[in-house]
Structure 1
Amino acid sequence: MNKKTLLLTLVLLLSFIQFGYSPFEEGMFPLSELHKLDLKKAGLKIDQNEIYNPNGTSLVDALVNVGGCTGSFISNEGLIITNHHCAFSAVQQASTPEHDYLNNGFVANLHEQEIEAKGLTCRITDSYEDVSDKVLGAVADISDPSSRIKLINDVMKNVAAEAEQKDPSIQAEVSEMFIGKTYVLFRYKTIQDVRLVYVPNRQIGEFGGETDNWVWPRHTGDFSFMRAYVSPDGKPAKYSKSNVPYRPKKFLKVNAEGTNEEDFVFILGYPGRTFRHRPAQFIEYQQKFVLPYTSDLFEFQNNIMESAGKKNKITELKLATRIKRNANVLKNYRGKLQGLKGIDLITQKQQEDAALAQFINGDVEEKAKYGNLMSDIDNLYKLINGDAKRDLWLNQIYSSSNLLVVSKNINMFKNALTAQPAAQKQAFFDQNAARLKQILSNAYENYETEVDNKILKRMLTDAAAFSPNQKINAVNKITAKASSNESAIENYINSSFEISRLKDPEYVLNNLLKSPKNLNEYNDGLMLFERDIAQQLTELKTEKDRRDGLLNKLMGDYVSIKEKFLKKDFIPDANSTLRLTYGYVRGYWPADATYMKPYTTIKGILEKGSSGNPDFNYPSQIKNLWEAKDFGAFVKKDLNDVPVSFLYNMDTTGGNSGSPIMNASGELVGVNFDRAYGATINDYAWNESYSRSIGVDIRYVLWVASKIDKADFLLKEIGIKMSTKN
Structure 2
Amino acid sequence: MNKKSLLITLLLIGGISHLGYKVREEGMFPLSEIHKLDLKKAGLKIDQNEVYNPNGISLVDALVNVGGCTGSFVSDQGLIITNHHCAFSAVQLASTPEHDYLNNGFVARTREQEIEAKGLTCRITDSYEDVSGKVLGAVAQIEDPAARLQLINNAMKSLAAEAEKKDPSIKAEVSEMFIGKTYVLFRYKTIQDVRLVYIPNRQIGEFGGETDNWVWPRHTGDYSFMRAYVGKDGKPAKYAKENIPYVPKKSLKVNPNGTNEEDFVFILGYPGKTFRHRPAQFIAYQAKYVLPYTSDLYDFQNSTMENVGKKDKTTEIKLATRIKRNANVMKNYRGKLTGIKGIDLIGQKKQEDESLAQFINNNADVKAQYGQLMDNIDQLYKQINGDANRDLWLGQIYTSTSLLNVAKNINLFKNELNKQPAAQKESYFAANIAKLKQTLDNIYAAYDLDVDRRIFKKMMSDAVSFTPNQRVTAVDKITARSNNNETAINEYINDTFGLTKLKDQAYVFNNLLKSGKSIGDYNDGLLLFENDIARQITELKPEKDRRDGLLNKLMGDYVNVKEKFLQKGFIPDANSTLRLTYGYVRGYSPADATYMSPFTTIKGILEKGATGNPDFYYPDIIKQLWTKKDFGPFVKKELNDVPVALLYNMDTTGGNSGSPIMNANGELIGVNFDRAYGATINDYAWNESYSRSIGVDIRYVLWAASKIDKADFLLKEMGVNP
TM-score by shorter chain over 0.5:
yes
Q: 2:20 aligns with which of 2, 15, 26?
A: 15
Letter in 2 for 1:307: N
1:377-434 CA distance string (max 9 Å, x none): 0000000000000000000000001101110111111111111111221222122112
Residue 595 of structure 1 aligns to a residue whose secondary structure is coil
Structure 2 residue aligned with 1:276: 276
Deviation at 1:233, TM superposition (A): 0.9
Structure 1 residue aligned with 2:520: 520
Alignment of 1:16-55 (within 5 A): 16=21, 23-55=23-55
1:168 aligns with 2:199: no
Structure 2 residue aligned with 1:5: none
Structure 1 residue aligned with 2:541: 541
Letter in 1 for 2:89: S
Question: How far, CA to CA, are the matches of 1:698 and 1:389 in structure 2?
Answer: 45
Deviation at 1:721, TM superposition (A): 3.8
Structure 2 residue aligned with 1:433: 433
Question: How far, CA to CA, are the matches of 2:225 and 2:435 in structure 1?
Answer: 30
Letter in 2 for 1:177: M
Structure 1 residue aligned with 2:5: none
Structure 2 residue aligned with 1:385: 385
Deviation at 1:713, TM superposition (A): 0.2
Residue 695 of structure 2 aligns to a residue whose secondary structure is strand
Deviation at 1:9, TM superposition (A): 11
Question: How far, CA to CA, are the matches of 2:53 and 2:528 in structure 1?
Answer: 55
Structure 2 residue aligned with 1:641: 641
Structure 2 residue aligned with 1:310: 310
Letter in 2 for 1:701: V
1:437-488 CA distance string (max 9 Å, x none): 1111111111100000000000000001101100000001001242111111
Structure 2 residue aligned with 1:292: 292
Structure 2 residue aligned with 1:496: 496
User: Greater shift after overlay, 492-501 or 426-435?
Assistant: 426-435
Alignment of 1:313-332 (within 5 A): 313-332=313-332
Structure 2 residue aligned with 1:113: 113
Alignment of 1:557-706 (within 5 A): 557-706=557-706
1:664-715 CA distance string (max 9 Å, x none): 0000000000000000000000000000000000000000000000000000
Question: How far, CA to CA, are the matches of 1:704 and 1:105 in structure 2?
Answer: 12
1:86 aligns with 2:86: yes
Deviation at 1:62, TM superposition (A): 0.1
Letter in 2 for 1:36: K
Alignment of 1:213-232 (within 5 A): 213-232=213-232
Question: How far, CA to CA, are the matches of 1:633 and 1:698 in structure 2?
Answer: 12
1:4-41 CA distance string (max 9 Å, x none): xxxx999863435xxxx5x3211000000001100000
Q: In percent, how many aligned pairs have the same letter?
A: 76
Q: Which runs of 5+ in 1 are unaligned?
A: 1-7
Alignment of 1:329-478 (within 5 A): 329-478=329-478
Closer, same or farther in 2 for the Cα pair 1:262/1:539, shift >3 Å? same
Question: How far, CA to CA, are the matches of 1:629 and 1:590 in structure 2?
Answer: 32
Letter in 1 for 2:719: G
Question: How far, CA to CA, are the matches of 1:169 and 1:134 in structure 2?
Answer: 23
Q: Which runs of 5+ in 2 are unaligned?
A: 1-12
Question: How far, CA to CA, are the matches of 1:150 and 1:541 in structure 2?
Answer: 12
Letter in 1 for 2:18: L
Q: Which runs of 4+ in 1 moved over 4 A?
A: 8-12
Question: How far, CA to CA, are the matches of 2:616 and 2:231 in structure 1?
Answer: 43
1:97-135 CA distance string (max 9 Å, x none): 000000000000111110000000000000000000000
Alignment of 1:236-247 (within 5 A): 236-247=236-247
Question: How far, CA to CA, are the matches of 2:379 and 2:74 in structure 1?
Answer: 51
Question: How far, CA to CA, are the matches of 2:586 and 2:636 in structure 1?
Answer: 16
Aligned residues: 710
Deviation at 1:567, TM superposition (A): 1.0
1:125 aligns with 2:137: no
Structure 1 residue aligned with 2:10: none
Question: How far, CA to CA, are the matches of 1:11 and 1:563 in structure 2?
Answer: 31
Letter in 1 for 2:415: N
Question: How far, CA to CA, are the matches of 1:481 and 1:721 in structure 2?
Answer: 72
Residue 513 of structure 2 aligns to a residue whose secondary structure is helix
Deviation at 1:203, TM superposition (A): 0.1
Letter in 2 for 1:431: A
Question: How far, CA to CA, are the matches of 1:578 and 1:428 in structure 2?
Answer: 38
Structure 2 residue aligned with 1:153: 153
1:73-104 CA distance string (max 9 Å, x none): 00000000000000000000000000000000
Letter in 2 for 1:176: E
Letter in 1 for 2:189: K
Question: How far, CA to CA, are the matches of 2:452 and 2:494 in structure 1?
Answer: 11
1:129-165 CA distance string (max 9 Å, x none): 0000000011000000110000000000000000011
Deviation at 1:278, TM superposition (A): 0.1
1:294-324 CA distance string (max 9 Å, x none): 0000000000000011110000000000000
Question: How far, CA to CA, are the matches of 1:9 and 1:342 in structure 2?
Answer: 24
Cα RMSD after superposing both structures: 1.1
Residue 595 of structure 2 aligns to a residue whose secondary structure is strand
Question: How far, CA to CA, are the matches of 2:186 and 2:506 in structure 1?
Answer: 42
Deviation at 1:568, TM superposition (A): 1.1
Residue 233 of structure 2 aligns to a residue whose secondary structure is coil
Residue 594 of structure 1 aligns to a residue whose secondary structure is coil
Structure 1 residue aligned with 2:234: 234
Question: How far, CA to CA, are the matches of 1:137 and 1:612 in structure 2?
Answer: 63
Structure 1 residue aligned with 2:253: 253
User: Greater shift after overlay, 58-67 or 430-439?
Assistant: 430-439
Letter in 2 for 1:520: G
Residue 142 of structure 2 aligns to a residue whose secondary structure is coil
